[in-house]
């Protein structure tokens, strides 16, 4: 299901909308149709949900392999 993220040009509200067919999104706050489409959040959230690498040397591969030398 395609989820799009928009930022309202009028009030600055950011929201996500699921669109079907030719449906046009509108701001849930001020109901304008002047929206700026943001980049998909999928790639961002995928990256930020990666295992926190802060526990060791900061290189995820290193510590996951059990070879972190910074401990
Ligand atoms: Zn708005």
State the pLDDT at residue 22: 83
Q: What is the pLDDT of residue 40?
A: 63
CA of residue 24 relative to chain centroid, distance: 21
Please give the model's pTM, rounded to 2 decimal places: 0.52
Expressed as residue numbers, the domain containing 15 is: 3-64
Tens-place pLDDT, residues 3-54:
889 999 999 999 999 888 888 899 999 999 999 998 765 554 555 555 554 5
Q: How many Å lie between the centroid of ligand 1 and the Cα of residue 33?
A: 8
Rounded to the nearest angstrom, the distance between the alpha carbon of 14 and the centre of ligand 1 is 8
* Count of domains observed in the chain: 1
Between the CA of 5 and the centroid of ligand 1 the distance, in Å, is 13
For position 15, which CATH number holds? 2.20.28
- 25: buried, middle or exposed (CB in 10 Å: 19+, 13-18, 0-12)? middle
Residue 70 resides in a domain: no
């Amino acid at each position: 299901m395609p989820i799009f993220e928009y930022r309202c040009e009028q009030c600055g509200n950011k929201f996500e909308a699921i669109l079907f067919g030719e449906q046009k999104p509108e701001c849930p706050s001020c109901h304008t149709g002047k929206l700026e489409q943001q980049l998909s959040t999928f790639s961002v959230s995928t990256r930020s949900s990666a295992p926190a690498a802060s526990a060791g040397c900061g290189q995820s591969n290193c510590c996951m392999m059990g070879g972190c030398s910074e401990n």
